[in-house]
Structure 1
Amino acid sequence: MSGFAAAIAAFAPRLPLAVAYSGGADSTALLRACAARWPGQVHAVHVHHGLQAAADDFESHCRSVCAALGVPLVVAHVQARHASGQSPEDAARRARYAAIAEVAARDWAQGGPRDVALAQHADDQVETMLLALSRGAGLPGLAAMPAQWERDGLRYHRPLLAVPGPDLRAWLAEQGVTWIEDPTNADAAFTRNRIRAQLLPTLARAFPSFRATFARSAGHAAQGQALLRELAETDLHALGVPPTIAGLRALSRARRANVLRHWLVSVHATAPSTAQLDELLDQLEACRTRGHDIRLKVGARFVRRRGDVLDCYNPALSDST
């Protein structure tokens, strides 16, 4: 049994199942394999990003394929243009998840799919880890993409994370199946495309098993991050929300950094940069008297001392907790 066939055989979502279908090779393989395994139980959702002239052709192709397979298709139109300071990839990703959630609420509300399958594979996982390394990411970045998670009331799955990309294309070729190529995949302006075209072939020559070993490393990072999250939740519960300065100062610097990052992300949806977090830790270390002030910008928010606790607030909204 091939790695792709084994991955589909091991995949156990709740039915009915939705497949995010772009028309490309990876999602084509996933959609066809799922439709063959669960006839009449698979839906497809195609997100029309509106970013290039070929987007209408992508939609037409997806409609034709789904009609031939007897798979119901919903097309969601979004405007995925990125804001200043936001990467195009991140803007498109956020737009896709928002569109899928809207489709689920509008079209699948009554007994429709609550599980969604995405077609990212082992090469995508390696690319994500290399991008994280290039940015100096910590454990959350090195953990790369999770195989399963929940968002907006939906359960998402990536059943192909152990399957090399070339294996998917080989399976499609054996089936005599065609797909569409997104022209932006060849654009060297995107870092991920340069990794795919230049680094992955080099890694394959130097380390033939790199996909499996990278996947193990991502799993170790994910396990370590889960433990850090559990510790942060325990510490934040003990410190209170907002956290007390005395309680924070009683922790080691590493543990203090862990709980502060968790507090800012989980309560205030703002992630401090390494420099910002180091500065906040330094200010806390120097905070030895009641009159010592703390004030630091973190994203669109500010962290400041308010009596015996740290206060995080958005100046535009004047909120704090």
Structure 2
Amino acid sequence: MNPALAGLTALFTSSPQLPQLPIGVAYSGGADSTALLLAAAHRWPGQVQALHIHHGLQAAADDFVRVCETVCASAKVPLQVVHVDAAHAPGESPEDAARRARYAALAAAAKQQGLGGVLLGQHADDQVETLLLALSRGAGLPGLSAMAAQFERAGVLFYRPLLQTTAVSLREWLLRQQQPFVDDPTNTDERYTRNRIRARLLPALAEAFPQFRATFARSAQHAAQAQLVLLDVALQDLAAIGTPPAIQALQALSSPRQANVLRHWLLQQQATPSAAQLDQLLRQIAACTTRGHRIHLKVASGHVTRVGAVLHYSAAAKKAG
């Protein structure tokens, strides 16, 4: 086995939380998930299930299923094909809609099958692309942390064991083994930002900074660690200022700590403030020195208002379907 893929075993051996078996693999039929599926089946014979999400967004989707069936039959891995409706709402990103539908379907299938978690095939190149996308959007530490090696969604644990493995090593191993896999035609469509990064930026980075995958990953890890510290501070500050936040107690904090705790409080209300909205809220809190000072600011889809001595967040009412 390719040393990069053999690292899958080492990763889970050294992980503080080993995946509970049986385990699922999110299997698209592409090179990355095919290599992951075969590595997992080699590591845990008879304990792996392939989960293929059929989005129905491409004419070739049924062909993808046939390739998955061939590989799974050869590897003696059971395959479950899950059909999802990944249509996006007006103004919504098609990629975001498909991603949400995919994770929801994977979590539901894992629960239905009694799986201990789901392995995802994102690799080192995907990690770099995610970090560059975050930088292009002016993201804070959560975005610069890129993709976590392990996370939970809808009560299901997801793992990304290939984040230290390059895309080319996965593809080369499959070609040497003469393993079939799907080449998704949308991966070369440069209308998508991620594909432009893959086609144009990664080759330039490889030429200028040959070790960029490792160094970018290290930066993402530093950002993730710093974000955990900020989360700890936010929890301590929120306990001190109360829920809902007391304005006078907020004013006793430095502006960066106010921003940190307010961002955390708003996220608890299912609201993600923009940088401009958070800056305006900080200015309003600083100016709130009289009993009659009014605060009424739009944040995300709702509003932050002053109610007596505290802040209150009200989400926008959902329109009836």
1:205 to 204, 207, 216: 207
Partners of 2:111 and 2:156 within 8 A in 1: no
Specify whether residues 37 and 105 from structure 1 end up closer, same or farther in structure 2 by C-alpha distance, changes over 3 A only: closer
Partners of 1:50 and 1:79 within 8 A in 2: yes
Report the CA distance between 1:85 and its aligned residue.
Answer: 2.9
The one-letter amino acid paired with 1:43 is Q
1:311 aligns with 312
1:104 aligns with 110
1:222 aligns with 224
Report the CA distance between 1:8 and its aligned residue.
Answer: 3.8
Specify whether residues 315 and 28 from structure 1 end up closer, same or farther in structure 2 by C-alpha distance, changes over 3 A only: closer
1:65 aligns with 71
Report the CA distance between 1:70 and its aligned residue.
Answer: 1.4
Helix, strand or coil: the match of 1:289?
coil
The one-letter amino acid paired with 1:61 is V
2:299 aligns with 298
1:254 aligns with 256
- Which whole-Å CA distance do the structure 1 matches of 2:90 and 2:291 have between them? 40
Helix, strand or coil: the match of 2:298?
strand
Are residue 273 (structure 1) and residue 274 (structure 2) matched?
yes
The alignment of Structure 1 onto Structure 2 pairs a total of residues equal to 312
2:81 to 70, 75, 80: 75
- Which whole-Å CA distance do the structure 1 matches of 2:9 and 2:87 have between them? 34
Partners of 1:295 and 1:305 within 8 A in 2: yes
What residue ranges of structure 1 are gaps of 5+ in the alignment?
A: none
1:91 aligns with 97
Partners of 1:7 and 1:163 within 8 A in 2: no
Of stretches 193-202 and 86-95 in structure 1, the one that deviates more from structure 2 is 86-95
Report the CA distance between 1:239 and its aligned residue.
Answer: 1.2
Partners of 1:142 and 1:218 within 8 A in 2: yes
- Which whole-Å CA distance do the structure 2 matches of 1:87 and 1:127 have between them? 18
Helix, strand or coil: the match of 1:75?
strand
Report the CA distance between 1:105 and its aligned residue.
Answer: 3.1
Report the CA distance between 1:11 and its aligned residue.
Answer: 2.5
**What's the C-alpha RMSD, in Å, of the aligned pairs?**
1.2
1:9 aligns with 10
2:16 aligns with none
- Which whole-Å CA distance do the structure 2 matches of 1:115 and 1:101 have between them? 8
- Which whole-Å CA distance do the structure 2 matches of 1:73 and 1:23 have between them? 11
Partners of 2:142 and 2:224 within 8 A in 1: yes
The one-letter amino acid paired with 1:46 is H
- Which whole-Å CA distance do the structure 2 matches of 1:315 and 1:10 have between them? 44
Helix, strand or coil: the match of 1:150?
strand
Of stretches 20-29 and 34-43 in structure 1, the one that deviates more from structure 2 is 34-43
- Which whole-Å CA distance do the structure 2 matches of 1:295 and 1:114 have between them? 46
2:24 to 18, 26, 29: 18
The one-letter amino acid paired with 1:181 is D
Are residue 113 (structure 1) and residue 115 (structure 2) matched?
yes
Helix, strand or coil: the match of 1:11?
helix
Helix, strand or coil: the match of 1:45?
strand
1:47 aligns with 53
The one-letter amino acid paired with 2:191 is A
Partners of 1:114 and 1:153 within 8 A in 2: no
- Which whole-Å CA distance do the structure 2 matches of 1:293 and 1:63 have between them? 62
Report the CA distance between 1:237 and its aligned residue.
Answer: 1.3
Specify whether residues 132 and 148 from structure 1 end up closer, same or farther in structure 2 by C-alpha distance, changes over 3 A only: same
The one-letter amino acid paired with 1:224 is A
Report the CA distance between 1:175 and its aligned residue.
Answer: 1.0
Helix, strand or coil: the match of 1:81?
coil
- Which whole-Å CA distance do the structure 2 matches of 1:135 and 1:168 have between them? 29
Helix, strand or coil: the match of 1:271?
coil
- Which whole-Å CA distance do the structure 2 matches of 1:287 and 1:81 have between them? 45
Report the CA distance between 1:215 and its aligned residue.
Answer: 0.5
Partners of 2:281 and 2:297 within 8 A in 1: yes
Report the CA distance between 1:4 and its aligned residue.
Answer: 2.8
- Give the structure-1-normalised TM-score: 0.94
Report the CA distance between 1:28 and its aligned residue.
Answer: 0.2
1:282 aligns with 283
The one-letter amino acid paired with 2:92 is Q
Partners of 2:141 and 2:227 within 8 A in 1: yes
Partners of 2:71 and 2:180 within 8 A in 1: no
